[in-house]
Amino acid sequence: MKKVSLKPIAAWIHRNARELEVAIWKFHFENGTKEDVINALIYYQNEDGGFGNAIDPDNWDVNSSPYATLFALNILKDIEFDDMQHPIYLGIKKYIDTELNFPEGCTFTVITNRNYPHASFHNYDENYNKIESTGVILGFSSFIIDHYRDSKTYPAVMELMEKMIEKLFSDEHGDMGPTGYISLVNSMKQAQLEGYDYDKLELRLKELVNGSIQRNPEQWCYYGYRPSDYIKSKDSIFYQGNEEIINVELDFLHDTLPQNDVWPISWSWFENNDKYPKEAVISLNWWKATKAIERARFLKSFMRIQ
C-alpha cells in the first residue's frame, strides 16, 4: 500500500502558506487549537460581520460578500467550532440579519468584485449568479437551520425549502450545488424537519455525487470533481460503490506529489491571468496550501500516511 510522508508537506505549508492555513494545518496535524484558527480567521471579517479581504484567494475584494462569508462559515464548520456566542459568530449573525437579503441578495458574485483582482469566475454577472448562487443559498440555509433558527431569515428559509428540494431533482445546480445540497439535507435530517423522505433525498444525493465525480485519473490534473471532494472517510454515505476509485485517487496522490512541493492547482484565473498576473500567481500558491491540507486529511482518513 502506497503511503505519503507528511514531513515535506508540513515544511512547504510552514514556508509558503498564509497564517490562516498554517493554523488550520496545525489544528489537523500538529495539535493546534481551534482558537488559533479563529484568531487568524477573524482578520478577514469586516465591521458589518461579513467576510471579504481575499479569504477566498481567487477574489481579493475587501468588501463583505455572501460567498466569502460562506467560505468562512465552512472553515468554522470544518474545525467543529460551534460557540455561537463568540464574536466571530455574532458578527456573522449580524451580517445575515442586516446585509444578506436572503435569498435574492445571497449571490455568488457581487458588483464590487470588479474593483479588485479576481479570477474570471468571480466576474460579476447577474445571469451567472442565477445558477451559481444556488450553492450559496443552500449553504446559508444549512447554517441557519443548524445554528440560527431565531434569525428573522429563518422563516424565509422554511418558505424556500420546498422549492429548493424540488430543484434537487432537476439537472441545473451550479458548480457548488451538489455540496450545498449535501449540507442542506444533513441539516434537515439532523433538525428532524418533518414531511421529507430522507431515504429518497439521500438516494438523489448519491446520484448527483456519482454523476459529478470525474472517474478518469488523467483528467484530475484539470478542473473537475474528484472522489475526495465528496467522500472524506469510509463513513460517508457515498463510499459504498466508490471504493475502487477512492483507492485509485489515493495512489494518484502518492504518485503525483512533487519533490519539495505540494500538488499543483487544477485551475487558473483564465482570461484574468493577463489582467492580474502577479495576484494570480500569489492566489494559486495560497490555494495550494488549502488543497494540500485537504488531500493530507484525505490520505490520513484512509490510513495512507506514514
pLDDT tens-place string over residues 148-161:
999 999 999 999 99
Vertex 185: Cα angle to 180 and 190 (nearest 5): 125
- Residue 39 within a domain: no
Confidence class of residue 201 from pLDDT cuts 50, 70 and 90? Answer: very high
Confidence class of residue 170 from pLDDT cuts 50, 70 and 90? Answer: confident
| Boundary of a domain, candidates 212, 241, 260 | 212
Residues 245, 150 share a domain: no
Confidence class of residue 276 from pLDDT cuts 50, 70 and 90? Answer: very high
Rounded to an integer, the average pLDDT of 137-165 is 95
Residues 193, 59 share a domain: yes
pLDDT surpasses 90 at 223:
no
Task: Give the pTM.
Answer: 0.96
Q: What percent of the chain has pLDDT over 90?
A: 95
Domain that residue 304 falls in: 1-31+214-306
Of residues 173 and 123, more confidence is placed in: 123
Confidence class of residue 172 from pLDDT cuts 50, 70 and 90? Answer: confident
Residues 182, 256 share a domain: no
| Boundary of a domain, candidates 182, 212, 242 | 212
Exposure on the CB side of residue 219, measured as CA atoms within 13 A: 9
Residues 297, 249 share a domain: yes
Rounded to an integer, the average pLDDT of 182-191 is 97
Residues 113, 85 share a domain: yes
pLDDT surpasses 80 at 171:
no
Q: What is the pLDDT of residue 176?
A: 87
Least confident of 37-46, 138-147, 157-166: 157-166
Residues 165, 289 share a domain: no
Rounded to an integer, the average pLDDT of 51-67 is 98
Terminal-residue alpha carbon distance, the chain: 11
Residues 257, 149 share a domain: no
Residues 7, 87 share a domain: no
Residues 189, 61 share a domain: yes
Q: What is the pLDDT of residues 6-41, one digit of tens each?
A: 999 999 999 999 999 999 999 999 999 999 999 999
Rounded to an integer, the average pLDDT of 240-256 is 98
What is the domain count for the chain? Answer: 2
Q: What rounded mean pLDDT belongs to the chain?
A: 96
pLDDT surpasses 90 at 96:
yes
| Boundary of a domain, candidates 159, 181, 212 | 212
- Residue 40 within a domain: no
